[in-house]
Amino acid sequence: MNTIPYFPGCSLKDTATGFESSAQFVMETLGLRLQELERWNCCGTVTSLTTDDLMHHLASVRNLVRVQDLHESELVALCSMCYNTLARTAQRINADPVERDKINQFMDRESSYEGTVEVRHLLQVLRDRIGWETLAQATPITLEGLKVACYYGCTLLRPKEAAIDNTEKPTIMSEAMAAAGATSVPFPFAGECCGTYQVVDRRDLSIERSFRVIQSALRAGANVIATACPLCQHNLQEAQKELGHVQGLADIEIVYFTELLAAAMGMDPQRLPEGLNVLIQQTAEAQTGWGGS
């Protein structure tokens, strides 16, 4: 089976294991196995935006070196924050031989980074390498009737250089959902911020922001929100827990987009979120008119 170097990131190894297992299932089904880097470190999470703070790009560069050591030139990430950090660092360091040299001088006796690795998000790999048609053919279980609000948040779309799709009107996740037979419902908060790290010391603020995102999806008629980021997922679920009593808020499922794709490809339901299984079953019953018995 063909493989592609894969960077998991810390969250996918503890709080977001379902994101990883579903993505692995999806890619195995499609014949392109995610090959986890043997050695990897934190992506760097929030690279400093000041131009002289190269130290904070080291973490990302080291991961790029690991890809280079495999004689590969492409790295795929699932977590949108890791994607964003790695991609922006790669763009900057690949394009600037002076900065690259400075980092290599610092790394000293270790392998130097040659500036040849490109970072992609899994959605880009699905679109550009696999193709929506192939994806559609690999989904025997249709998600027809499911109304998905594709939530991008910030890091898949901003800044423009790192955007995996049109910054204002992204369609990439909707296209993936459409390939699995689901209906994607547009909603105005698809690219709004969930509150991100504010959840640590300004939880009220992140709950407020995430609440608006969920409410916006509900008003658009969605019954499930698809995410691509463990932190977005966490913040949305926290808001749901906190404000579950607000009408309808508890009724929407919040899952990783890969979990929806994996469900459509026939992944063992026991490895998928319980709420998603119930929703898929109810939707299927409603579609065939077998429900309500």
Residues of this chain that interact with another protein (CB under 8 A) are 10, 13-15, 39-42, 44, 55-56, 58-59, 62, 106-110
In this structure, what are the phi and psi dihedrals at residue 271, rounded to the nearest 5 degrees? Answer: -95, 5
Beta carbons of 236 and 213 less than 8 angstroms apart: yes
- Give every CB contact of residue 203 below 8 A, 6+ residues apart in sequence: 238
41 or 167, CB closer to another protein? 41
Structure tokens at 77: 């990430």
Minimum distance from CB of 229 to another protein (Å)? 16
Nearer to another protein, 103 or 180 (CB): 103
Residue 117 corresponds to which amino acid? V
In the complex, least distance from residue 59 CB atom to another protein, rounded to whole angstroms:
4
Angstrom distances, CA of residue 50 to CA of 46, 47, 59, 60: 12, 9, 16, 16
What is the strand order of the sheet 74-77 is part of? 32-36, 2-7, 74-77, 118-121
Q: How far is the CB of 42 from another protein (least distance, A)?
A: 6
Give whichever of 111 and 166 is closer to another protein, judged by the CB atom: 111
Among residues 133 and 201, whose Cβ is nearest to another protein?
201
Cβ burial 131-162 (10 Å sphere, 16+ → b, else e): eeeebeebbeebbebbbbbbbbbbbbbeeeeb
Nearer to another protein, 111 or 287 (CB): 111
Q: How far is the CB of 216 from another protein (least distance, A)?
A: 32
CB of 48 to another protein, least distance (A): 10
* Helix or strand (DSSP H, E) at 225: strand 224-227
Place of tokens 């690219």: 191
Compare residues 11 and 258 and give the one whose CB is closer to another protein. 11
Q: Report, in Å, the least distance between residue 223 CB and another protein.
A: 31
